[in-house]
Structure 1
Amino acid sequence: MNHKRQRTDFNFSHEFCPASTCKPHGIIRLIQQMSYVPAPDNRQPGLLSGSRAILALILGVTALVYAGTLQFGFTYDDTPQIVTNPRISSWSYLPKYFTEHVWAQISASGTYYRPLFLLWLRLNHALFGVQNPFPWHLTTVLLHLLAVTLVFRLLIKTFSLEVAGIATFVFALHPGHVESVAWISGCTEPLMTCALVGAILCWTNRRNSRGALWLAASWLLCLASLLIKETAVLLPVLIFVYSLFEDRESPRFDAYKRAVLNTLPFAVITVAELMVRARVLRGGVADEPHPAMQTLLTVPSAISFYIQHLFWPVKLSPFYGLELMQKFSAVVVIPAALVALCAVALLLVLAFRSRTLLIAVAWLVLPVLPALIGIRLFDSNDIVHDRYLYLSTIGLGLLLGLAISRLPAAGTEIFRLPRAQFACIALIAIAIAAGTALEIRPWSNNLALFLRGVDVAPNSTPAYSHLAFEVYKRGDAADAERLYKHAVALGPNDWPANFGLAMIEMRMSNWNEADRFFQRAIEISPSVSNGSYLLQARVRVEMQHYDAAEKSVREAIDNWPNIASQHLLLAQILTKQGRIEEARSEYQKELTLNPTSTEARMGLAEIGQ
């Protein structure tokens, strides 16, 4: 059946290529065809008929595919972020969500400011506790389904139901989303998406009744999205793009002027939030940024990685072998740079072709830019993740939908769709649904996840460190020691690997080795945790090196003066040295920080108050 198509977009092509000199061919012809899409119409016939029916189908399939995650446990960072995190166990911590970074419970410095994400965790903790992961997984899947619903509602405002349906299905079931849906702590992506897409939806309603309220709601949701995850900084640019699309029939200067004015409030909110964030994080970063040249050398490989995982998301893992480039390597950098340049060139052609394609390209490119910029701040061996493509799959789905909608409409129809279009839609749907169902399985437990990690990235230090710790928790200290030593061999300057190996050696009473690797961890990152100092002190006490143990504790107190238990340990060391008055003073300092400390009271009683 031939759908009657109408042009819904102002075509930019004539501004750069006069009709008298350009003759479209090959991919240019396809791009031109993609500039013409069916007008948004929820009543058009075909398999994709009726927006409610299509949305129900997409949500149903998505829920079915992700239903298996409801039986999964807490995995990866869920333990420190949720299970053992005291900051989400009481409402008394709520004000600190807005004045501390997201990992304040284990580190004095941090890079991420996400107060509303912590609030989400607190709400779940208040409702469900941490004994059973089932309701946590349920709310994570529901968040994703809500994000899918909002994305669909936004897309049908701009694209035909056919294109919006295909794009939403790709977004809902792209295998790269398993990290954001099967992993509870990965819910930052769907949570942020709900606020961000909700902001755009409210903004598009500003010309309806109660327009001022819709506009205010869009600004509030903009702020909320920023307080959930940093990726939301792209929202002002998306508003700019959508504003251009709204004014596609207006003169170009007027359209750009109105787009700037529409974007301005969102930009002000974003800048204000970034200023608060920088103040809370004391500059906004936990460690010194990587050198700019190393970051630039790494970006082409990261872009190639994301292109590959957009179009071929198989054997996914929380760990990959891609690391920060320390120096120029022609074999690595040049091929990756060529792939990146070709991709950028194609996307520029698409973006300038029409404002319809500009929206698709904006969704594809903008969400991954923060991840590329963030390489300068990420750990050198942990710079890419599939979850950073969560929003980019909207753009991928739109481009696929626009391309499929232009396939020949002649021939036999299947479910009232042209045969070629139906075949493409069916193949894509089956492929991504099956791919997601397969990629979910490693997230069922930590052992399966970390075994997948070392399989996908055999040279990844974090993968072996996490596997070693999981093996140790399961009671095999000897094998854990072997895995940690392998991790240290792969990454001699990796703090978690050295710290983990020190912990294992301590548990096995290998005091000299434990002391050596704790010292190495301190040298690598002196300010990451007071645990390095305190555990080293305990090891040195076992070795009866009391002066060295005292030195370790005092360094911890100098860096983290207000943490309980440090003065207690120092008092115990001073007691062993016979320095009773100094020990008494430290016990009293401990009681000032922790009035309920029975150990401090017992220590005072033993030495005589």
Structure 2
Amino acid sequence: MRPPDARALLVLATTLVAGFGTVFRNGFAFDDDILILSNPTIKDGTLFWATLFDSFFAETVNEGNLVFFRPLVKASYFATYQLFGAVPWPYQTANLLLHLLNAWLVHRLARTWLRLRARGALAAALVFLLHPVQTEPVAWISGRTDLMGVAGILGAVLLAWRWLLVPRPSTLALLLFVDLLGLLSKELAVITPPVLAVLVWHRWPALRRRPGLPRRFAALMILLLALTALFFAVRAVALAGTESPEIWPTHSQHTWRFVIPGTVLLYVRLILWPHPYTLDFNTGNFPVVTSPAEVTFLLWCAGCLALAALTAGTLARRHLAGVALALFLLGVGPVSQLRPLVVIGCERYTYFPLIGGAVLAGAMVQRLRLSPRALAAAAVVLLASVSLWNASRIRLWRDNLTLFTYAFEANPADRHKQYVLAKVLLGLGRPGDALAVLHENPMGRFDHPTHLELEGVALVNLGRTDEGIARLRECVAMNMTPTCICAIGMVAIGSVDASGIRQTRCVAPREPVPVDFYTLRVPSLPIELPGGRPSMELPNAPPPRDTSSDGGSCSAAGDAGAGSFALVLFALVGLAFVSRRRR
């Protein structure tokens, strides 16, 4: 390693410790409980090898809800658990080392493919390393999927640079192996071929002069595409029969596509201004449109068209800004609701797209006419400020109580966060606090039997046994909807209308409800309950709250509509101005 590169690596390592050192105060949170603490496949070697190429959530409570193919990440959890057990610091150390590796690879990408000088390349790597949106995939142990997947993409394109200049069989074999590792870590790695194509286009005037390089590039693209096709074939065979249910983010299979332009602009906004933090974006804190004629949707489309036009124009001129924007769009594409998921967006999905923003920042720093001392002083002040900002974000991932207390306070309309927080409080022996949380959003109890179940358990733990049993017996899921939204003696009939919206009607049954109807419990609830169903004054509940009509305003997301559009448009105009070539 040359001295300048060694110094850059030392600066990155020191900055990583300063910016993310507080992560070791954290424990396991969120999906860490499912994927590590309660995952039998990483505790038993026989079960691990039997399920290695099954769904990522195989043998866990999310097995039927989330179907991903990430055997390499599962293998990393297995190895860490077998060596260290269920203590968080080894997992956190692995995440930090992977993040440092990716920052170093961004530095090498800027130096080789993008021809930035040492100052600009180091600035790009530092922005990627310390940007506030990176706290989620780095501080959260289960964010390792993004770290490993991006490492595979960056490693493959850097090895491609070496092989295109000096075609050695060992380099080609290592390139394909690294790309395969990325594919086995996260499906995002399917973008390696188009990323490489963008980089080669950027350097084509210089590369085409080398003898045989066009043919080598064509052969390499064929190999990478064949490897990607093979990955999809193996994935289809491995996951056959384990399809996840389609959970429409807008609760409608006909309107969810309308959020795609808004999601793209959301990620632009997160890179430009990632504040305030929100765990994820869904219908509770993101504007949802139901018609292409709505003003919000038209603004989103205008912003995306402006972004696409700027990308195409600068990329056609082989300008660095075009490469950066193309890297952003290629990274956003696979996560912008191209398939139904209940989550519209979250910060961990910006891990690869941020590379584009980091490259632009590095190019701007390279153009600054400041003395090395002045630039170093400004960098120290800026990095120290961002490190303090990140420390407050990292603290949110300390444990489930800290994370979901913040998430629910930031977005009280999110009934999932309400349920998880109440469940965490109940597990900590605080049933009174759990009950108070459940009562903060009473609409949740009419939509989810699990809320009523949790309320019943909390009441029993508080000594209010009769009330608790009443809650536990009140809600039975039938006909696509919970019966607890109806008055006593009525039953719920669920259906889906032409637009994909769930409709519920409370009707009188043809025959009286059997006495044992409300004793039909799921296995997690008591099988036998004393007495008959108690008389409760429960009128027909109002229909579930339609979050698509309230504009999605929330303190956690800020103004994600016109305000985000204005911010993004301002950034695009500024980028277009600075990217013009000097005459």
TM-score bin, normalised by smaller chain: 0.7 to 0.9
Letter in 1 for 2:288: M
Aligned residue number for residue 243 of structure 1: 200
Aligned residue number for residue 569 of structure 2: none
Aligned residue number for residue 188 of structure 1: 145
Q: Deviations over 1:75-113 (max 9, x none)?
A: 111112111111110221233344321112224433211
1:69 aligns with 2:23: yes
Letter in 2 for 1:460: D
Aligned residue number for residue 377 of structure 1: 340
Q: SS state of the match for residue 318, structure 1? A: coil
Q: 1:414 to 1:209 in 2, by over 3 A?
A: closer
Answer whether contact 1:514 1:536 (CA < 8 A) is retained: no
Aligned residue number for residue 413 of structure 1: 371
Q: 1:223 to 1:413 in 2, by over 3 A?
A: closer
The correspondence for 2:220, drawn from 262, 280, 284, is 262
The correspondence for 2:290, drawn from 323, 327, 332, is 327
Query: Which has the larger share of helix?
Result: 1
Q: 1:323 to 1:272 in 2, by over 3 A?
A: farther
Aligned 1:192-271 pairs, distance under 5 A: 192-207=149-164, 211-249=168-206, 259-271=217-229
Q: 1:434 to 1:349 in 2, by over 3 A?
A: farther
The correspondence for 1:120, drawn from 76, 79, 102, is 76
- Flag the structure with larger Rg: 1
Answer whether contact 1:319 1:462 (CA < 8 A) is retained: no
Question: Within 1, Cα distance between the matches of 2:34 and 2:396?
Answer: 20
Q: SS state of the match for residue 373, structure 1? A: coil
Aligned residue number for residue 535 of structure 1: 522
Identity of matched residues, %? 22
Q: 1:488 to 1:184 in 2, by over 3 A?
A: farther
Aligned residue number for residue 88 of structure 1: 42
Question: Within 2, Cα distance between the matches of 1:250 and 1:54?
Answer: 27
Aligned residue number for residue 280 of structure 1: 238
Q: Structure 1 stretch 211-220 or stretch 513-522: which is displaced more?
A: 513-522
Q: Deviations over 1:272-321 (max 9, x none)?
A: 21222233333774013635542221112222321111011123232344
1:367 aligns with 2:331: yes
Q: Which runs of 5+ in 2 are unaligned?
A: 483-493, 495-518, 533-583
Answer whether contact 1:294 1:324 (CA < 8 A) is retained: no
CA RMSD of aligned residues (A): 3.4
Question: Within 2, Cα distance between the matches of 1:504 and 1:74?
Answer: 24
Question: Within 2, Cα distance between the matches of 1:111 and 1:87?
Answer: 15
Aligned residue number for residue 10 of structure 2: 56
TM-score (norm 2): 0.74
Letter in 2 for 1:69: V
Task: Give the aligned length.
Answer: 483
Letter in 2 for 1:364: F
* Cα distance, 1:199 vs structure 2: 1.8
Aligned 1:303-452 pairs, distance under 5 A: 303-320=264-281, 321-322=284-285, 325=288, 327-328=290-291, 330=294, 332-354=296-318, 356-374=320-338, 376-379=339-342, 382-407=343-368, 409=369, 413-415=371-373, 425=379, 429-452=383-406
Q: Which runs of 5+ in 1 are unaligned?
A: 1-41, 44-48, 527-531, 546-609
* Cα distance, 1:266 vs structure 2: 1.2
Answer whether contact 1:319 1:463 (CA < 8 A) is retained: no
Q: SS state of the match for residue 155, structure 1? A: helix
* Cα distance, 1:327 vs structure 2: 1.9
Q: Deviations over 1:381-434 (max 9, x none)?
A: x22110000111111011112223234x3xx6342xxx6x66875665445333
Answer whether contact 2:328 2:354 (CA < 8 A) is retained: yes
TM-score (norm 1): 0.71
Q: SS state of the match for residue 166, structure 1? A: helix
Question: Within 1, Cα distance between the matches of 2:229 and 2:26?
Answer: 39
Q: SS state of the match for residue 539, structure 1? A: coil
Answer whether contact 2:456 2:470 (CA < 8 A) is retained: no
Q: Structure 1 stretch 507-516 or stretch 363-372: which is displaced more?
A: 507-516
Answer whether contact 1:102 1:113 (CA < 8 A) is retained: yes
The correspondence for 1:519, drawn from 471, 474, 477, is 477
